[in-house]
Structure 1
Amino acid sequence: MLKVAGLTINVVRKDIKNLHLGVYPPAGRVRVAAPLMISDEAVRLAVIDKLAWIKLQRSKFEQQPRQSEREMAVGESHYVFGRRYRLRVHEAEGTPRVAVRGIASLDLFVRPGATRKQREAVLDRWYREQLKALVAPMFTAWQAKLGVQASAWGVKRMKTKWGSCTPASRRVWLNSELAKKPVECIEYIVVHELLHLAEPNHGERFVALMNRYLPRWAATQKRLNASPLGHEEWGADDAGVRLAPHDGT
C-alpha cells in the first residue's frame, strides 16, 4: 500500500513489463499492477503523473446511479438482463419461486410470513439459475472459438470483480450480479475471463486478442460500468491505463 496525495494505492507486484493503473467502482479504489523490479518511488511518480485522470474516474463513479437497499416489497424495481421489472409478491403455500410476467412484472412467490431475507434468498437463487442457463451455451461457443477449455466454471457472489479466472486450475467464476446486466455485458465478461486461459495478464497481447474476437469490448465495458450499481457495492476493472516504467528503477 502507498499513500499519494491522500489516496490509498493498492500495489500488486507481477511479472509484467509496464505498470497498469486502474480505478475501480464503486468507490474509486486505485490499484497499480507493477513489474517486480520497479521501486515504490517509481510507482508513486507514476500515480502522481495521473492524479488528474484518477480524480476524473472517481468523479464518474460518484455520479453513477445506485439502487437503494431492496426491501423485497411490491412495486420495487429489479433488473433482469438489463431490463427493469416491477416486483409483485405473492404469499402462498408451496415451493417458493420466481416468474417473469410479460415485459414489466417479476412475480415472487413465497410462503406466508416470509422475511425480507428469505424473499431475497429466493430471488438470488433464481438469478443464479437464469445466469447459468444463459451463459452455458456462451461458454461452449466461445471456448471453441478461442481454442481454450476451462476445467470448470460457476456462478457465485463476488464483492470485488465481475468475473475471475485462475489459469493454473483453469477455473472461471462469474459474479451472480451479472444476471441483472445486459446480455452483451455478460458475454464480454465470459470472453474476457476465457481469454485469460490464453493470456493470463492484461498486457498488449491480451488487449489485441480482445480487439480481435470482441471488437466493441471497450464500449461494452463502459456500458457495464455505467449501469446502476446494486445497494451492496460491487467492483469491476473499469478504468485502466498502462504506464511505461520510469528511469532509474
Structure 2
Amino acid sequence: MNVPIKPQSQTMSFRYGDEQITFERVKRPQATGKVLIKVHPDCRVIASAPEGAESEAVLSAVKKRGRWIYEQLRDFRKQLEFTTLRQYISGESHYYLGKQYLLKVIEAPEQVQGVKLLRGKLEVSVRTKSADKVKELLTDWYKARAKETFAKRLDAMLEQALWVEERPPLRILTMQTQWGSCSPNGRITLNPHLVKAPRECIDYVILHELCHIAEHNHSERFYRLMGQVMPNWEKTKERLDGMASVITN
C-alpha cells in the first residue's frame, strides 16, 4: 500500500454565484459523520467524507461553505498569479525540512560544483551558469539529504512500531503520485521530494508504511494502529497535502 501525493477521489461540483466550483470527494478514514473541507494553495478543493455518506449530503455540506470556499479560491488565485515555475536562478525560494531557503547561484570556474546550506541560503556553485546544471546539482543534493534523513527518521519511528521485528529495507525513488509505499515483503520506498516537508510529515509517511507491515490494507485496524502511534496524523496529512504543489515541482 502507499501514501498518495493526491488522494483517490470522486469529482463533484456546485455553482456559487457565477462560478462553477469543482471539488474532490475523498474517503475520510475515521468513520464520523462530519465532512471536512479544505482549500489548498494550488486551488484544489477537497471534501473528506465518510465512505457511507450519501453524495447529496456531501454536496449539501460543501454548498453551506460555498462563500468561504469562494473567498479562499479568490485569495489563492491572487497568490498563484505571482508564482512561476522554478528557473533555478538566484533569489528563488526552495524548501528543505519544511523551511524556505533562498537560492544563490555562484559562478566559480575553479571551484568544485556542488550545493551547500549556509546562513539560510542554498548556495549552488557551478562552473558556468546553467539552469539545467543547477537543477541537476540540487536534485542530487536533495536525494543525498533524503537518504540520510529518512534513515534517521526510520530508526526513530521503529521505536514506536513495536510490531516490526526487523529494520525494513529502505529505498529512495522519485515518484509522480506517491510519497511512499510498502511492498508485500516489507521494503519501504520513499519519495526524495518528501525531504522538503517538515519532519512531522516525514514521520507520518514512514509510520503509515510501517503500519502496512502489520495491516496490508486501509482497514479499520490499520487506522486504529495509526491513531495509536500518531494521534494527530490527520492534521499532519492535511499539512503535507497542502504543500504538495510547492515541493514536487
- Could you say which TM-score interval applies, normalised by the shorter chain? 0.5 to 0.7
- How much does 1:28 deviate? 5.7
Q: Give the distance between the partners of 1:2 and 1:134, measured in 2 at CA.
A: 35
- 1:139 paired residue number: 154
- 1:51 is aligned, of 28, 50, 59, to 59
Amino acid paired to 2:84? S
1:88-113 Cα deviation digits (max 9, x unpaired): 101223442111111x2110112214
The 5 Å alignment of 1:46-195 reads 46-52=54-60, 63=76, 67-93=83-109, 94-102=111-119, 104-113=120-129, 115-146=130-161, 147-148=163-164, 149=166, 151-166=168-183, 168-195=184-211
Tell me the secondary structure at the aligned position of residue 160 of structure 2: helix
So what's the TM-score if we normalise by structure 2?
A: 0.68
Unaligned runs of 5+ in 1: 12-17, 35-42, 234-249
5+ unaligned residues in a row in structure 2: which ranges? 1-8, 15-21
- SS of aligned partner of 1:229: helix
Whether the 8 Å contact between 1:70 and 1:231 is mirrored in structure 2 is no
AA at the equivalent of 1:163: G
Range moving further from structure 2, 176-185 or 152-161: 152-161
Match of 2:235 among 203, 207, 219: 219
- Structure 2 CA distance for partners of 1:187 and 1:53, relative to 1, 3 Å: farther
In structure 2, C-alpha distance between the alignment counterparts of 1:204 and 1:51, rounded to whole Å: 25
For the aligned residues, what is the CA RMSD? Answer: 3.9
Over residues 27-62 of structure 1, what are the superposed CA-to-partner deviations in whole Å (9 max), with x where a residue is unaligned?
568999x9xxxxxxxx9x9445433567879x5995
Query: Does 1 or 2 have the higher relative contact order (CA < 8 Å, sep 6+)?
Result: 1
User: What amino acid does structure 1 have at the position aligned with 2:87?
Assistant: E
Q: Match of 2:171, SS?
A: strand
Kept in 1: contact 2:95–2:247 (CA 8 A):
no
Contact 2:193 2:248 in 1 (8 A): no
> Is the 2:182–2:189 contact (alpha carbons within 8 Å) kept by the matching residues of 1?
yes
Q: Structure 1 pair 127/220, CA: closer, same or farther in 2 (3 Å)?
A: same
Q: Is the 8 A contact 1:199 1:205 kept in 2?
A: yes
Letter matched to residue 224 of structure 2: A
1-structure distance, mates of 2:139, 2:168: 25
The secondary structure found in structure 2 opposite 1:98 is strand
Deviation at residue 173 of structure 1 after TM alignment: 1.5
More deviation in 134-143 or 196-205?
Answer: 134-143
CA displacement 1:40-88 (0-9 Å, x = unmatched): xxx9x9445433567879x599549765311111111111111111111
